[in-house]
Structure 1
Amino acid sequence: MCGIVGYVGARPVQGLLLAGLEKLEYRGYDSAGLSVLNGDGVDSVRAVGNLQALRDAVAQTARAAVADGGAAVALAEPSTGIGHTRWATHGRVSERNAHPHEDEAGRIHIVVNGIVENYIVLKRELEASGVTFTSETDAEVIAHVIARHYDGDLPAAVRAAYGELVGHFAFVAMAADEPGVLVGVRRECPLVVGRGEGEQFLASAVPAFLEHTRRVQFIEDGELVVLRPGGVEFMSPAGEPIEREVVEIDWDAETAEKGGYETFMLKEIHEQADAVAETVADRTARGDGVDLGDLGTIDDAFLRELRRIVVVACGTSYHAGLIGRYAIEGWARVPVEMDIASEYRYRDPVVGPGDLVIGISQSGETADTLAAMRLARARGATVLAITNVMGSQATRDADGVLFTRAGLEIGVAATKTFVSQVAAMYLFALRLAELRGTLEPARLSELVGELKRLPHLIAEMLDGDDEAIKAVAERHHQAEFFLYLGRHIGLPVALEGALKLKEISYIATDAYAAGEMKHGPIALLDEATPVVCVATESPVLDKVVSNMQEVRVRGAHVIAVASDGDEEIGEHADELLRVPRTDWMLAPLLAVIPLQLLAYHVARLRGLNVDQPRNLAKTVTVE
């Protein structure tokens, strides 16, 4: 996800911004840029690629200034500036889409993390008033809306613009006419202030300024902040002053990158609301359907006529594909086959023209998945890659790409990349249903609305009390075996929950379709066996309950993941882990979270390193 850095003070700002952006590289990005105030206005530099590309562009700009008779320090002397690393959402990866963006007069400059959901409406209004846009992004609209309200008072203009914006975002604005002033605002995306003596910092995360100050102020949702070299003001959108405590943090550099969490895995679990929101927001902006943008050579005509879909993936990505299979077949009525990528190419698969093969790989470099995609394409099938990494091999081997937008994931055990993959599969299933006319418009709109609501539900879950999960972990962390059960859409959740537990706790764990329990696994059950059942609302819940009863008759201990408001389920389980209610087909995005946390707490109680589990690598690039 995008990274933001801002500075006001007495020191040369260029080096501070570049160094701050380097500390945010772990968030992932595809382009970068900065804008700094000088005596005559604002200098902006943008570049596609890594930060070295931006450094080279800055150096080239300085050399050009010298050649034109200017000073070589043209980009080093100003004391007010903003910097940005972009993870593309709206608009392709290009220099003109990189941040910062500005209004037509070049007075207002902004950097943004997040999504402006109503940007299309605002853009049409602005264009009708004569405004010309220079990028394909939703972010640029913010600069123009601020400019529309600007009369020399940047905080007032930002407050007015904030009231017109819908979405989840954090942005920082700078005005050419007001040196020494930055205004930031946060709505569901991170932004934090670093307090210095005669200088102030503003960033997406503490690492951006940690080497300069450990005194921070955390901005709450809906708050605006005004930075000047001598101090910081917090206010509500109405302009009412707010008192905000200055906190002295004692984080080291690694802890800072973890955002204060004890591990990267826990931090990434808590980033899942943002990851899903980033993946779905702009693609569901019109509300009554899904827009997937450019899928390469995979056009709507092909999707309307394709005869079947084959999904190839490994590990966690395979489980995301399984959820996608249920959604595609249920909503779009297209047959879907699932294949473990490492087996696919060795069974001489029957595949060819008219087939769509979807390869899912977080890194885009998974060797077995790439090999399966290449085989399918060589036999005439059309290949779609779902991946988190732009420029990865999967993006080059496929006919089209659907990007997830989880940002960089450090922990080896996938969490936020999994929910992003599931969200991407839901988007694709809904788009396919829309194109093929297999869902009534009202039902399609309802599902799109529920999908857009899921980030808020995830955030509520993760902001709440997880004492119930900790208690279950405390009770069972010494168990030698766990069994996970699920049916229909709950089965992939059970598979993923079991995988998380075995990956990081090293406990022997198995997962089964609940209906298969009597075909063997039931022999493993005794009084010492915890059995985790995915029992969220669904058309097969009564069948799951029957399986839970069978488990308890054998003396095993039932831990059920259940929907809020289902009171009857408590009669059939020893312990309940509740999740918010949503459409039953979308429930996996919620149900997997308590299972991630259960695995996490069990592993921590066993004293294990959850970020780097033994024998595992983040990306499997060899067969």
Structure 2
Amino acid sequence: MCGIIGIVGESPVQDRLIESLKRLEYRGYDSAGIAGCVDGQVERRRAKGKIRALEEVLASEPLNAKVGIGHTRWATHGAPSETNAHPHKAGRVTLVHNGIIENYAELRDSLTRRGRTFESETDTEVIAHLLDCELEKKPPIEAMKATLDQLTGAYAIGVLIEGEDALVMGARRGSPLVVGYGDGEMFIGSDALAVGPFTNRIAYLDEGDFVAIDHKTARIFDETGQPVQRPVRTVAASAALVEKGNYRHFMEKEIHDQPDACQHTLSAYIDPTTGKVQAPGGVDLAAFDRIQIVACGTASYAGSIARYLFERLAGLPCDVEVASEFRYRQPAVSPKTLAIAVSQSGETADTLAALRWCKQQGLTTAAVVNVHESTMAREADVLFPTHAGPEIGVASTKAFTSQVAALMALAVAAAAARGRIDAMEEKRLSKLLLEAPRLLADAAQLEDEIRALAPELAKARDVLYLGRGALFPLALEGALKLKEISYIHAEGYAAGELKHGPIALIDEATPVIVIAPSDPLFEKTVSNMSEVAARGGPIILITDTEGAKNAPANARVIVGPTCDPFLHPLVYAPPIQLLAYYVAVQKGADVDQPRNLAKSVTVE
């Protein structure tokens, strides 16, 4: 979740770029930089560390520009350094970028063969070179479109072009970008807070959009290159940090925030250049013979997904228990157990008590938390961070997928540390994880199809969710989401358990939601769906293209992204979240603040 600001101004922009970057510090960063158009040339200033280091550079080398871009970087490709700091330059192009370009290695190799020389270790510099190549034969807007067509990944981009002194361009896919409308000035930013000091009139770019701003206008294009209009709305500057954008509720916005949150979280665990996956804090995952995960609610389902991966990949026995029960049953633990507490807030009372109990037993403790100064983060021996950013909706969405992403990375790190996978397999799995932000963005694009199911599903009194393997905990999470915000009774089951009791509940009025992208267990799940169909149960199948080919004739099918089964429990979270969301909206429920629930449960 790096920060971006771009200004086409009538007065010097240096101080305003710095002001905006300071407002984006909450997103986390390890270097910062700005660039601007000065007498027909683009100059840049960069520094490793905090913005005050950049201010020291600017004190001796001011940037006298009226058009410029700025960036705070959270390192992904390449260590924190001035060389790797944004903006990056290639020929006429100076560029800042949030996100991960998945195919950067192939693009870099191709560009190197064409004689291009790279200064940094970043994936971002590849975009700058690509765009500079395209500018040799196309005008800026066409060159931008041709460049974006070559990129695979989730990203937001801001661009200056030498010779285009009153132009800033931007683009987004899977990572947010807004346009700010001023008086004779225009802005782009990574969120409303970035442009908040300068204007309260904001347009939110849609997925795949790109934009060219000058002093007076914003020309916006969709992913096909066609000109489009996006609504301009007024945003209260004081509320910009928690602004819903074009979304009706915070929950809907946070579902769409997941690619950015996932990418930022994974960057704390994966070196994209080497493919190595590391546990933060220097903990030796080979030193343990068991994992004990304690958590509550949604976090416990993230832990349950992780159990499949710790055991299958790393051969490391893993127990998951709801924290409210854990310490009261006086569990047997061994000194070589790593106890992992999972919590969005880091203040959940039951989970904190369980963590403290584990410390009293002499166990090494770790905390997977989103609030890094929380009590759990301070008291645990090791912090395994998530970087979801503020989550306002009570029903967890991006905090959940960030927890899953972090735990998946830890499972890969444990497998490598214990010698259960070789370097090639570690690199393959890390590459898959780095594809997750793009796939999460694709999954969220199923919104219109899922919305169409809501009116019928909202009539149900009871709903069943089915899944197998690591998708069984996702079925539990889907049922919990529906209960939390729509107040419909829902239960999640392992699909193979259907005939051991729950099948008695099946009738024409009980919808069954099956989460089953194609994998080695898919045929068994088809058998379970046949059992439901034989009893008249309505089926909603959430699957991929291959799975859709074998769906029961009477099933309503939602076709999600095709990906490696390793990623299924992460990538197929947005559809179940969206389904719960639109059913709740259909019923007129208070989605962001459901009855009887609190965001953080700080009492036992």
Q: Could you say which TM-score interval applies, normalised by the shorter chain?
A: 0.7 to 0.9
2 CA distance for matches of 1:537 and 1:454?
Answer: 17
Question: Is there any run of 5+ residues in structure 2 with no aligned partner, and where?
Answer: 134-138
Partner of 1:212: 199
Kindly state the Cα deviation for residue 319 of structure 1 after the two structures are TM-superposed: 0.6
Please, which of 488, 491, 496 is the counterpart of residue 477 of structure 2?
496
Closer, same or farther in 2 for the Cα pair 1:98/1:617, shift >3 Å? farther
SS in 2 for 1:390: coil
Structure 1 residues 346-355 or 515-524, which shifts more? 515-524
Partner of 1:383: 365
Please, which of 293, 304, 317 is the counterpart of residue 322 of structure 1?
304
2:249 aligned with 1:263, yes or no?
yes
Partner of 1:343: 325
Partner of 1:473: 454
2 CA distance for matches of 1:410 and 1:491?
Answer: 27
Closer, same or farther in 2 for the Cα pair 1:207/1:330, shift >3 Å? same
Please, which of 459, 467, 470 is the counterpart of residue 441 of structure 2?
459
Closer, same or farther in 2 for the Cα pair 1:236/1:313, shift >3 Å? closer
Closer, same or farther in 2 for the Cα pair 1:208/1:435, shift >3 Å? closer
Deviations 1:63-102 (A, max 9, x none): x97xx9x9xxx89x9644544455665689x997997667
Is the CA contact (8 Å cut-off) linking 2:10 and 2:184 kept in structure 1?
Answer: yes
SS in 1 for 2:590: coil
SS in 1 for 2:392: coil
Partner of 2:186: 200
2:169 aligned with 1:191, yes or no?
no
Please, which of 390, 409, 414 is the counterpart of residue 432 of structure 1?
414
Kindly state the Cα deviation for residue 296 of structure 1 after the two structures are TM-superposed: 1.5
* Amino acid aligned to 1:605: Q
Partner of 1:51: none
Partner of 1:418: 400
Kindly state the Cα deviation for residue 350 of structure 1 after the two structures are TM-superposed: 2.5
2 CA distance for matches of 1:540 and 1:219?
Answer: 36
Kindly state the Cα deviation for residue 298 of structure 1 after the two structures are TM-superposed: 0.5
Is the CA contact (8 Å cut-off) linking 2:511 and 2:539 kept in structure 1?
Answer: yes
Pairing of 1:115-130 with structure 2 (within 5 A): 115=100
1 CA distance for matches of 2:589 and 2:217?
Answer: 43
2 CA distance for matches of 1:23 and 1:352?
Answer: 46
Deviations 1:517-537 (A, max 9, x none): 455444444432222233333
2 CA distance for matches of 1:251 and 1:325?
Answer: 46
Partner of 2:136: none
Structure 1 residues 439-448 or 611-620, which shifts more? 439-448
1 CA distance for matches of 2:529 and 2:519?
Answer: 15
Closer, same or farther in 2 for the Cα pair 1:36/1:554, shift >3 Å? closer
Is the CA contact (8 Å cut-off) linking 1:3 and 1:204 kept in structure 2?
Answer: yes
Q: Once the two structures are aligned, what percentage of the paired residues are identical? A: 40
Closer, same or farther in 2 for the Cα pair 1:176/1:392, shift >3 Å? farther
Partner of 1:152: none
Partner of 1:169: 155
Closer, same or farther in 2 for the Cα pair 1:369/1:544, shift >3 Å? same
Kindly state the Cα deviation for residue 42 of structure 1 after the two structures are TM-superposed: 7.0
Kindly state the Cα deviation for residue 484 of structure 1 after the two structures are TM-superposed: 2.1
Kindly state the Cα deviation for residue 413 of structure 1 after the two structures are TM-superposed: 1.1
Structure 1 residues 6-15 or 166-175, which shifts more? 166-175
Closer, same or farther in 2 for the Cα pair 1:538/1:384, shift >3 Å? same
Is the CA contact (8 Å cut-off) linking 2:185 and 2:216 kept in structure 1?
Answer: yes
2:579 aligned with 1:598, yes or no?
yes
2:596 aligned with 1:610, yes or no?
no
Deviations 1:99-122 (A, max 9, x none): 76678xxx9986542236688998
SS in 2 for 1:571: coil
- Given the two structures, how large is their TM-score scaled by the length of structure 1? 0.76
Is the CA contact (8 Å cut-off) linking 2:175 and 2:257 kept in structure 1?
Answer: no
2 CA distance for matches of 1:24 and 1:212?
Answer: 16
* Amino acid aligned to 1:491: F
CA RMSD, aligned part only?
Answer: 4.9
Deviations 1:462-519 (A, max 9, x none): 234633x233321120222222233322210110000100111111222233344455
2:281 aligned with 1:296, yes or no?
yes
1 CA distance for matches of 2:380 and 2:85?
Answer: 28
Deviations 1:199-253 (A, max 9, x none): 221212355446736475948759574x55466688999xxxx774565523544
SS in 1 for 2:330: coil
Is the CA contact (8 Å cut-off) linking 2:177 and 2:204 kept in structure 1?
Answer: no
Please, which of 220, 243, 249 is the counterpart of residue 232 of structure 2?
249
Closer, same or farther in 2 for the Cα pair 1:366/1:112, shift >3 Å? farther
Kindly state the Cα deviation for residue 404 of structure 1 after the two structures are TM-superposed: 2.7
Question: Is there any run of 5+ residues in structure 1 with no aligned partner, and where?
Answer: 49-53, 150-154
Deviations 1:560-590 (A, max 9, x none): 3333223564327543333333333432223
* Amino acid aligned to 2:375: Q
- Given the two structures, how large is their TM-score scaled by the length of structure 2? 0.78
Partner of 1:310: 292
Partner of 2:262: 276
1 CA distance for matches of 2:128 and 2:443?
Answer: 36
Closer, same or farther in 2 for the Cα pair 1:493/1:208, shift >3 Å? same
2 CA distance for matches of 1:361 and 1:142?
Answer: 37
Is the CA contact (8 Å cut-off) linking 1:296 and 1:400 kept in structure 2?
Answer: yes
2 CA distance for matches of 1:243 and 1:571?
Answer: 39
Partner of 1:6: 6
* Amino acid aligned to 1:264: F
2 CA distance for matches of 1:545 and 1:572?
Answer: 11
Structure 1 residues 15-24 or 589-598, which shifts more? 15-24
2 CA distance for matches of 1:574 and 1:224?
Answer: 41
Closer, same or farther in 2 for the Cα pair 1:380/1:101, shift >3 Å? farther
2 CA distance for matches of 1:475 and 1:130?
Answer: 58
* Amino acid aligned to 1:212: T
Kindly state the Cα deviation for residue 34 of structure 1 after the two structures are TM-superposed: 6.8
Kindly state the Cα deviation for residue 599 of structure 1 after the two structures are TM-superposed: 0.7
